[in-house]
Amino acid sequence: MHNSQTTAGIGVERTDFVGIPTRDRERTVKFYGETLGIVPNRRTHENFPEFETGNVTLAVFHPEEMGMEFKPNANPIALRVRDVEQARKKLEAAGVEFHGETYDSGVCHMAFFSDPDGNALMLHRRYAPYSDGSTP
């Protein structure tokens, strides 16, 4: 986290979770917990599984069970891994299809894929230091 400007606004303390819509909870739990290896939160309600990435929670919900339309999230959540190519190979071996080649932005590597419901995800690693010399 790097910032200097602050205003009062509404006083956001942190991001508690990011919603992950699904049409098949069991499949989603398997994907995030086993394929991606993200730690499940054991204390959640069974209809609302959560996964702890280290800094922010991914909260799975089933919109159609709640009377809402299912719409996959097309906006990637960037998952930091040590080595994007290595992680990509592991996921590909597990049957995950990536969208295109791994992208080198000049400061980071990005590899785009989706979860089984079509929610966008990205393997991400910034390899270049920030302008002040600090690193992620």
Partner 1 sequence: MNVEQVDFVSVPTRDAARAVAWYLDVLGLPVSDYTEAEVETPNVTLSFWVPEEDNIPFAPNESGIALRVADVHEAVEEVKAAGAEVVGIEDTGVCHMGFVKDPDGNVLILHKRYAPRVPR
Interface residues with partner 1 (CB under 8 A) are: 1-21, 36-38, 42-44, 46, 53-56, 58-59, 61, 71, 73-82, 86-87, 90-91, 119-120, 124, 126, 130-132, 136
Comparison of 43 and 101: residue with beta carbon closer to partner 1 = 43
Q: How far apart are CA 88 and CA 90, in angstroms?
A: 5
Q: What is the DSSP string of 32-84?
A: IIIIS-PEEPTTS-TTS-EEE-SSSEEEEE-GGGGT-------S-EEEE-S-H
Cβ 29 to partner 1, closest distance in Å? 14
Cβ 125 to partner 1, closest distance in Å? 8
Cβ 103 to partner 1, closest distance in Å? 11
Residue in the structure block whose two tokens are 């000049």? 106
What residues contact 132, with CB distance under 8 A and at least 6 apart? none
Cβ 49 to partner 1, closest distance in Å? 11
Tokens at 108, concatenated: 């980071």
Q: How far apart are CA 121 and CA 133, in angstroms?
A: 28
